[in-house]
Amino acid sequence: MTKKINYLDSRGQVRNKIGIWLGSNTHQAVLHTIKELTANSGDLLMEGIGSQIIWTLHDEKTVEIFDDGSGLPIEGETIITKKDSKGNEIHETKSNVELLLLTLFAGTKHNGLDTGEENTGTNGVFNTILTYSSKSVEYEIGRPNGNIYYCSFEEGFIKEDLHIIGKTDKTYTKIKYTLSDEVFVDNYFKFNEICDICGKQSALINKSITVIDQVNNLEKTFKLENGIEELLDKLINIEEKIYENIIIKNNSEQSIRYDNKDYTDRINFHMVMNYTKEESNNIQIEFLNRSELIDHGAIQEGIQDGLKRSFNEFIKKKGLYIKNEKNITKEDILYGLNYIVDFKSLHPNMFIGQTKYSSNIEYFKQFMINSIVQYFEIFSIENQENMNLIINQILLNKRVREKAEVNRKNIKKELEEKITNQSNRPEKYVPCRSKIPSEIKLTLIEGDSSLGSVKLARNSYDTSILPLKGKPINPFKSKLDKLLNNDEIKAIFKILGCGMEYKGHAIKGIPKFNIDNLQVDRIQIATDFDFDGFHIQVLLLGTFYTLAPELLKQGKIYILYTPLYVIRIKNKIEYKNEITDTLLAYSEQERNDIIAKLNKENISFKETRFKGLGGLSVPIMSKALSEKDIILKQITMNDVEESKKWLELFLSEEKLKERKDYIETYGDKYFDYSLFE
């Protein structure tokens, strides 16, 4: 039987294969639309056409971009020349609106080698992708002929044809869109994410970009006069720099052959770099024609090789290696290194794929190597003292890293060792009898004081216990190696058996996170319900957020609630579908409701207040832990991100100004100033 032949038209190609065009259908792809449109508008501003870009967030799903450039040439028609299936040249007349908004690979930019334009995109696909992948999109364009044109689309189909809606003496393009939930998952926009993109682009085009959040009444304008140098200082902790920014610039020409023609590619770059004492949160960004190379490629390889060659030669020349010490590696070069590169080229196929996340043009790499080696040949002579500062920091980092690798081998051995008997259990860990991961609940409890009652009250078949020693380490402020060496973290992850990750990446030398290896079904955190207990909860959740975020994403982590009040009465009554003389209240509100009910029915009672686990008797604890009565709150990624935001605001040294502003604005809601009256 002949198989059915399937066919996708342009709309189907975009909606069913969005990953080809935007890399995925996830939130990253949603944000990619912001990058593409900002870059397209930036092309005009870089040419001196227009002066500003404005993004407006109407709601979490609807955004609008405005630029005062020349406006998309959407009116009129274009005669296109193409060849039919027999190779004969034919001519067709198509409307510009069809070509620009409904036709893949049709646009005004295709070969910068011909025009000399350093454009962010040359394929002419993005506006078409936006049209087809949006739930709704509106184009409003002011053109030099004085007309304002408008058209709109829904789910990739025309809603309103192109027509004139007014007159103007200005030129501009305004695009308002809501992406389709049928195409994208995690489909939403956030003010701070748009700001991050626009702040970077402002540094590259040296023009004003404003972001407005109409929902939360926020507005931020970016205009970084000193470009990427100012941007790098904004992104790193300046106090950690060991030397002022190093600025490297160079340009060259490269003969290439493209589309059976000989061309000269005019390439140049501007790089700002420095070293800091800290490894975490290093900024390493390459922009190629203002597109951020998320997956890096040839340019980063050139930076690594150039720096390695330059620094290794200097170390050997000055005899700075100790006896039998290995040479510095690329990893040593990247440790503590911060840089931003603004690289420009005319090559029409400079990116790997439409997403523009990487480039593998070999002469880009060689150009970077040569430029960096030449720069540091002079720098090491003219700035020998500062060169020594950099090299000493690299060697210090290298030796710390090598020591950490030895430690990690020991940690790996400890984490991979199966818990088979008392001799290799974490200290004070109380296992359960079940060996089936899908049955086991790991209960993390605050301190030793409640271990006895929890141990006697639990279901010993499926509930294991690990008591914690005071407050856990702060995962948001501690370095990775300090986290890995923490005894409690090692104990928790040894029990879990699932490995770890850090910022979405595997940790060198440590078992890679794998949810399939998880040895428990859920993790339940039980603390006292006071400020210390809440702090412990946040720090534990932060630990999972930092080292195993997938556990939060898959709903494996819970807060376990225990009674705050035990209210006893003389005669039994019906409460929560059972006959009992012991009523448990898990909150102040529940306690008040119970007492109001008892008073109303003229029932005498005696209440006892507990702050958490320590004072609960075994019978009360048994009831609180039983599957029938247990009260759990599942913790999501949003819960942790919200907690992290507040922790950073009130504890981070980098948030001094934000903390002061918040206290000045909202302090009266939390503090009783009458104490000073």
Q: Is the pLDDT of residue 650 over 80?
A: no
Helices 298-318 and 384-416, axial angle in degrees (round to 10) = 110
CB burial string 3-38: b at 16+ within 10 A, e below: eeeeeeebbebbbeebeebbbebbbebbbbbbbbbb
Residue 343, phi-psi category: left (phi > 0), alpha (psi -120 to 50), beta (remainder): beta
Residue 358 lies in a domain: yes
Phi, psi for 434 (deg, rounded to 5): -70, 145
Q: Is the pLDDT of residue 7 over 60?
A: yes
C-alpha separations of 252 from 71, 266, 340, 561 in Å: 33, 6, 19, 66
User: Using CA atoms, how far apart are residues 358 and 23, in angstroms rounded to an integer?
Assistant: 11
Residue 120 lies in a domain: yes
What integer pLDDT is reported at residue 331 of this predicted model?
Answer: 85
What integer pLDDT is reported at residue 73 of this predicted model?
Answer: 92
Q: What's the CATH number where 372 sits?
A: 3.30.230.10
Residue 23 lies in a domain: yes
Structure confidence by residue, pLDDT tens digits, 135-161: 999 999 999 999 999 999 999 999 999
Structure confidence by residue, pLDDT tens digits, 520-546: 999 999 998 888 888 899 889 989 999
Same domain, 304 and 386: yes
Confidence of residue 675 (pLDDT cuts 50, 70, 90): very low
Residue 669 lies in a domain: no
The residues that bridge with 574 in the sheet, in sequence order, are: 579
Identity of the amino acid at 16? N
What integer pLDDT is reported at residue 668 of this predicted model?
Answer: 64
Q: Is the pLDDT of residue 53 over 80?
A: yes
Residue 592 lies in a domain: no
Residue 677 lies in a domain: no
Phi, psi for 77 (deg, rounded to 5): -135, 165
Q: What's the CATH number where 508 sits?
A: 3.40.50.670
Domain end point (choices 358, 377, 402): 402
Its domain, for residue 283, covers 229-402
Identity of the amino acid at 260? N
Q: Is the pLDDT of residue 261 over 60?
A: yes
| Cβ count near 656 (within 10 Å) | 9
User: Using CA atoms, how far apart are residues 46 and 42, in angstroms rounded to an integer?
Assistant: 6
User: Using CA atoms, how far apart are residues 54 and 158, in angstroms rounded to an integer?
Assistant: 26
Same domain, 281 and 189: no
**Residue 253 and residue 267 in contact, taking contact as beta carbons nearer than 8 Å:** yes
Please compute the mean of the pLDDT values over residues 384-409 and round it to a whole number: 87
Same domain, 183 and 36: yes
**Residue 545 and residue 635 in contact, taking contact as beta carbons nearer than 8 Å:** no
Structure confidence by residue, pLDDT tens digits, 591-604: 999 999 899 889 99
What integer pLDDT is reported at residue 111 of this predicted model?
Answer: 47
| Burial (CB count within 10 angstroms: exposed 0-12, middle 13-18, buried 19+), residue 282 | middle
Domain end point (choices 225, 255, 271): 225
Same domain, 181 and 44: yes
| Cβ count near 216 (within 10 Å) | 8
Strands 134-142 and 147-154: antiparallel
**Residue 25 and residue 180 in contact, taking contact as beta carbons nearer than 8 Å:** no
Show the beta-strand stretches assigned E in 439-563.
Answer: 441-446, 463-468, 501-502, 505-506, 522-526, 557-561
Please choose, from the candidates 445, 461, 268, the residue with its C-alpha nearest in 3D space to the C-alpha of residue 453: 445
Same domain, 130 and 261: no
Same domain, 166 and 235: no
Same domain, 211 and 244: no
**Residue 642 and residue 597 in contact, taking contact as beta carbons nearer than 8 Å:** no
Looking at the chain, the whole-number percentage of residues with pLDDT higher than 90 is 49
Structure confidence by residue, pLDDT tens digits, 60-92: 999 999 999 999 999 988 888 888 888 888 888
Residue 551 lies in a domain: yes
Residue 238 lies in a domain: yes
Same domain, 213 and 72: yes
Helix ranges, 253-340 (H): 298-318, 330-334
What integer pLDDT is reported at residue 674 of this predicted model?
Answer: 46
What integer pLDDT is reported at residue 530 of this predicted model?
Answer: 81
3-class state of residue 122 by DSSP = coil
CA dihedral 526, 531, 535, 538 (to 10 degrees): 70
Q: In what order do the strands lie in the sheet with 605-609?
A: 578-585, 565-575, 605-609
Least confident piece of the model among 104-113, 411-420, 434-443, 668-677: 668-677
Same domain, 509 and 553: yes
Same domain, 267 and 385: yes
Structural domains counted in the chain:
3
Confidence of residue 647 (pLDDT cuts 50, 70, 90): low
Please choose, from the candidates 284, 288, 312, the residue with its C-alpha nearest in 3D space to the C-alpha of residue 298: 288
The secondary structure of residue 508, as a DSSP letter, is: T
Encoded tokens for 612: 């958490």
Same domain, 344 and 281: yes
Domain end point (choices 196, 225, 254): 225
Please compute the mean of the pLDDT values over residues 186-208 and round it to a whole number: 92
**Residue 265 and residue 253 in contact, taking contact as beta carbons nearer than 8 Å:** yes
Same domain, 217 and 239: no
- The angle formed by the CA atoms of residues 20, 24 and 25, to the nearest 5 degrees, is 115
